Amino acid sequence: MNTKILDILLIFPSGGDVYHTNFNHHLGTAYIVAYLREHGFLTEQFISNKPYNIKECVKTILQYKPKVIGFSVYESNFMQSVLISNCLKESNPKCIIIFGGPTPTVQSEQILKSISSVDICVRQEGEETILKILTELASVNFNLKQVDLLEIKGITFRDKDRIIINPDCNVLYMNRDIKNYIDRYPSPYISNIIPISKAFPTGIITARGCNQNCTYCNCAVLSKKNIYFHSIERVIGELSLISKLKKFSQPIPIYDDTFTIIPSRTKRICKAIIESDIKIPLLCITRCDKLDEELLDLMKLAGFVSIGFSLESAVPRVLRAIGKVRSVDVGDTLNYEKEIEFIQKLKYMTHYAKKIGMFPVFVSIMIGLPGETPQDAKKTLNLINQLEIDYYTHNILHIFKGTPLYKNHRRYGYKLTPMGYNNQIILRNNFPFNIDEIGLAKKSTKERNSKVMDYNILNILSLKCNQSNNKSFFNNIIINQDVIEPSLVKWMQQVLAINGIIVHIYSNKDIFLKLHTKNEMTLYNEYSPTNVYECYYWENSGNIKRLISGRMLSYGEEAGLSISLRNTNLVLEEYYKGYDTDFFIGVDRNKTDTDSFLKLLHVISKSEDSFNYLLERNVLPQFQSLCRWTMNQANCEDMETAIIENDNTVRICWYSEPLGKVGMSFFDIKRNLTERKRNTIKRRRCHQCEQKNLCQKCIFPFPLSAKEYCEYKITQKTNESANLINTFYVLKDFLYKPINPYDF
């Protein structure tokens, strides 16, 4: 922890997938840190791998004692940024808060109107503008009221009740004739802001901006269709430093909007890499019409092991409508010759990249583009199925404010609505046709990512504990009611981890279809601390109750799992027969279930080598009651997951009675639980029991009575076998959570 008082702390809250509960390195933010430090300001980026809720996060941030706090804000991390910002301002009203990044660049006025904790929005490139703000602030002892903000270009700010939008800074544009002007911004790696060990996945850039005409994209909008290049010497200097790492687990991404936009420059970079004998595996995404075999061969020699191409659509008319190949305003709008060529080139270049041994070669597409019909979208998927690629990314069009498409969206039949009165920043897009009918092609990343998510959900529903240690919030919340009220979201802001997982279980498919959109909008309108919102609905089939992933309705069977809940006794019968029980959860509904589970524990403990016994058998199902037979591995101790029922009561265990209500603090719920446990232990006289140090002392042992539970615990030694079963879920993790993205 830095003990000095910081001039500015920059924060990039990661925005919302299950693995990102932390604050990672961010290239754009690191550039600003490096530049400000060079000018003598005490600057840090907030980096942390720990999970936090909003309050704990703010507490940690304030330990840096920053005078100014800056956020890098995208739509994906907008809610988290606002919640942290609001809480910071509440805790320290003197702290000056700045929002910068893509979303404030195009929505600065709306942000300042609706988010009172934000003082200033910085638009476009941040280096010069933030330097100017800090210089002015430092001259008046960081008293914002004394700064003449009207003099600072590139910002939007609040002056009493008015929002003032100053002219753009345009520093890069004004200096466009100075060769490699952006070299004046120090390298985040050479300045030691980002350790080289984090070059993956943080990556590098060799240029900023894009000059292409894609109507849906905000890269060209943000750079006003200009590209600013680093010198080749600078690129080589940065790569040389990174190459000292020697061992690379993954290729280092080059995050240029289009790395090969000027093929001759790309060639020079590749030749310089080869001449400098730099050995780094590299990756980039580019346009197929901006490279040829010769360049790809050279890139391969220079270390590019992987390449991605953006296709968007395989229909020439659609490519023409989005300006992918050439501006929509240029030439005969009904002539698709160049678009046909583009598609042919993509087919050839993906083939060629595979031929020369690149791996993985991937393509990105977008569904719901202007003028696209369901048949057009299916044509794109058909082409994907024919390509020699390792995977593809299946994106759904999101219309960003500020893009040419945003201005013309009505012409194409889109209906954009803000998520709600409180959140006008994030827009929901209604498409002219039902994009959910399209499904996925083969090798979709969505399919694999969905499976990883479903596997996590399986663990959560079984109330597995992964990250204990005296926390003051839940990592996951299971909503077992159909409607999400605003009060529930407000409560989650207090008790749920930033980017924690919300699992919503609907009563049935019809209710899911009826209420899902409204609930999702409530989460956005009230500012949920997480975007990770996974929906399931119940489906009954004979004696098996299944939880069906809502994703399967959108993307078909491949994009989700049905998780089956069945009596433990019946699940184990299938397990013994050698059937696949990976996605079953065994539920104890009667004593036979409990007996059958204890029999499994007995078999394991009696086997000659328990470890090998489990190793050589099928992957085990999950069990909802496993924790009671273990020691120190129960949700009632770690409180990782809360279950919210229809009447807004909160439970910690599927078998427990309510321990609180939505609205109560985490500590009050914990206190109720502790009290309950203390009373149970007292009533059962656990302190007199010889098993007292080996017993989980389950307070909700249904279907057993307390007496039966005690008898079982005394007569049967369960801990070792039960803990071993938990151990084997680690193997399951290895199987289902890919540790190499290229397994996708």
Partner 1 sequence: MSIEADEVKKKSNKKRLDKFFGKDKANAIIECLEDCVNQGKTGSELKECVKECLMTQKGFDERSADDSVTIMAFITVG
Q: Which residues contact partner 1 (rule: CB under 8 A)?
A: 17-20, 24, 200-201, 203, 247-250, 253, 255, 285, 308, 310, 362, 364, 393, 395, 445, 449, 451-452, 454-455, 465-468, 557-558, 561-562, 578-580, 582-583, 611, 614-619, 632-633, 723-724, 726-728, 730-741, 743-744
Residue number, 130 or 284, with CB nearest to partner 1: 284
Please state the separation of Cα 317 from the chain's center in Å.
Answer: 33
List Cα–Cα distances, 685 to 630, 691, 697, 706, in angstroms. Answer: 20, 11, 11, 11
Structure tokens that stand for 304 in this block: 């590019």
Residue number, 149 or 196, with CB nearest to partner 1: 196
Give the DSSP H or E segment for 254.
strand 252-254
Residue number, 140 or 735, with CB nearest to partner 1: 735
Residue 22 has φ and ψ, to the nearest 5°, of -125, -170
Nearest to 276 by CA among 301, 255, 258, 296: 301
Contact 644, 669 (CB under 8 A): no
List Cα–Cα distances, 341 to 149, 248, 315, in angstroms. Answer: 51, 37, 11
Residue number, 485 or 558, with CB nearest to partner 1: 558
Shortest reach from residue 578's CB to partner 1, in Å: 5
Please state the separation of Cα 207 from the chain's center in Å.
Answer: 26
Shortest reach from residue 614's CB to partner 1, in Å: 7
Residue number, 706 or 724, with CB nearest to partner 1: 724
Shortest reach from residue 694's CB to partner 1, in Å: 14
Q: Are strands 207-208 and 228-229 parallel, antiparallel or unpaired?
A: antiparallel
**How many residues are given for the chain?**
744
Q: Rounded CA gap, 113 and 97, in Å?
A: 14
Residue number, 181 or 728, with CB nearest to partner 1: 728
Residue number, 124 or 635, with CB nearest to partner 1: 635
Shortest reach from residue 744's CB to partner 1, in Å: 7
Shortest reach from residue 359's CB to partner 1, in Å: 14
Shortest reach from residue 204's CB to partner 1, in Å: 13
Contact 25, 253 (CB under 8 A): no
Shortest reach from residue 324's CB to partner 1, in Å: 14
Residue number, 121 or 285, with CB nearest to partner 1: 285
List Cα–Cα distances, 660 to 23, 488, 648, 649, in angstroms. Answer: 31, 13, 9, 6
Contact 42, 6 (CB under 8 A): yes
Shortest reach from residue 289's CB to partner 1, in Å: 16
Q: Which residues pair with 252 in a beta bridge?
A: 282
Strand order in the sheet with 361-367: 252-254, 282-286, 304-312, 361-367, 391-396
Amino acid at 30: A
Shortest reach from residue 103's CB to partner 1, in Å: 13
Give the DSSP H or E segment for 30.
helix 27-38
Residue 272 has φ and ψ, to the nearest 5°, of -65, -35
Shortest reach from residue 579's CB to partner 1, in Å: 7
Residue number, 108 or 630, with CB nearest to partner 1: 630
Residue number, 452 or 681, with CB nearest to partner 1: 452
